[in-house]
Amino acid sequence: MNCKQRDMSLETYYGKLQVIWEDLSNYEYKPVCSCGGCKCQGCTCDFVRQLEMAREREKLHQFCIGLDASLYGNIRTAIVNTEPLPSVDHAYSMVAREEQMRFYDRDRVKEARGEAMAFAVNTPRNNNRGGYCTHCNKTGHDTAGCYQLHGYPEWWVEKYGKGRGGKTSQQGSGAAPARNKGSYGRGATVNAVSHVGLSADAHEVTGLTKDQWDKLVKLLGEKTEETRLTGKNCRDDWIVDSGASHHMTGMVDGLFDIHTVAPCLVGLPNGKLVMADQEGSVILTNNLTLHSVLYVKELKCNLISVSQLIDELNCIVLFSKTCCLLQDLTLMTPIGTGKRRDGVYFLQGVELVRRVKK
């Protein structure tokens, strides 16, 4: 039998195969086992079961061979190399999940482009970053541009609230309505804040004064025992990873509420592809609990997905050269901090933020 997917959708292709297999079964020769027990359902030679397994393997290979290699080459290789081989129905569900993830990632790329455009439109509001304000005693603007003195524009109120007793400006902003037409409101805020986090003005967004922010950076920059990714399991170290699509861990004993999910492929740093079919929750600090954490047995570190964290907690993540800050977007309160070591950011907690606010 030769059936290729070509321009058919995955669902149509699999449905066509099912019809062909059903038709072929009507003309297939039905052999009789050596013990003669097939007629009375008393077979003792296991012939029937072995025959069904052989047919299932044949269907699986026919399904995989006919898949579009340009779209499903990696998942097809992973399926045929799985021990034991999955059923053809299970293989179909794995490919369908891979297809859904690809569409999801494509939509995220489109959304990210929209967020970048929204941020670019909003940038002129803060073109004048120089000067010193004698009213609020902050740098980055002068008295003429002080929101506390003249009122907060609508775009600021939408993102951060009116501030500490500040009044709302009625002037608004020409770019704000355009942003509200799309679905990128929160995403645009996150994108903008991510850029601000690299500048010296991050304290204005986090609610910390400049001195408090400088103290936080200094505390996080203090020398500590270096922990390197040597391939050993790190039970307590969680990496804040902007490139991970899911929270992931290789330590099952730290998870609770573990349950089975549809299998998905996970790419390891060494280039190997492995399957993950379990996830759970983990408590990292008093303020931070992660849900839908994939258990990947072969993984030798723990990863916090920035995108998943933002979606789950409605928070922002700020990065600087030495640290990162996780902050609740509604209350503008710290959720956790991360310290940069060996080029990656390790989660710390919120104790340092509490110390500098005293």
Q: What is the mean pLDDT of the chain?
A: 68
Which of 344, 352, 324 has its CA nearest to residue 227? 344
Domain boundary among 60, 84, 104: 104
What's the CA gap between 188 and 209, in Å, rounded?
24
Residue 265 near residue 98 (C-beta atoms within 8 A): yes
Q: How many residues does the chain have?
A: 358
In a domain, 300, yes or no: yes
In a domain, 100, yes or no: yes
Domain boundary among 83, 104, 125: 104
In a domain, 323, yes or no: yes
DSSP secondary structure letter of residue 201: T
pLDDT tens digits for range 303-341: 999 888 888 888 888 888 888 888 887 777 778 888 888
In a domain, 326, yes or no: yes
In a domain, 81, yes or no: yes
What's the CA gap between 106 and 94, in Å, rounded?
19
In a domain, 318, yes or no: yes
**Comparing 72-86, 113-127, 344-358, which segment has the lowest mean pLDDT?**
113-127
Backbone conformation region of residue 140, classed left if phi is above 0, alpha if psi is from -120 to 50, else beta: left
| The predicted structure's pLDDT at residue 252 | 85
- The predicted model scores a pTM of 0.42
In a domain, 299, yes or no: yes
DSSP secondary structure letter of residue 200: T
pLDDT tens digits for range 2-60: 678 888 888 888 888 888 888 887 777 666 666 655 555 556 666 677 778 888 888 88
| The predicted structure's pLDDT at residue 295 | 92
The domain total for the chain is 2
| The predicted structure's pLDDT at residue 29 | 67
Instruction: Give the pair of three-digit tokens for residue 92.
Output: 């179909």
pLDDT tens digits for range 50-104: 778 888 888 888 888 888 888 888 888 888 888 788 888 888 888 888 777 766 5
What's the CA gap between 279 and 294, in Å, rounded?
4
Torsion sign over Cα 133, 136, 138, 141? negative
Answer with the residue of higher pLDDT: 171 or 7: 7
Question: Residue 282's domain is classified under what CATH number?
Answer: 2.40.70.10
Domain that holds residue 323: 238-348
In a domain, 281, yes or no: yes
Range with top average pLDDT, 112-116, 210-214, 323-327: 323-327
From residue 85, how far is each of 64, 189, 259, 262, 344 by CA, in Å?
12, 46, 22, 16, 38
Domain boundary among 81, 104, 127: 104
Answer with the residue of higher pLDDT: 286 or 197: 286
Residue 338 near residue 240 (C-beta atoms within 8 A): yes
From residue 230, how far is each of 208, 249, 266, 275 by CA, in Å?
36, 16, 20, 23
From residue 280, how far is each of 153, 236, 283, 346 by CA, in Å?
42, 17, 11, 21
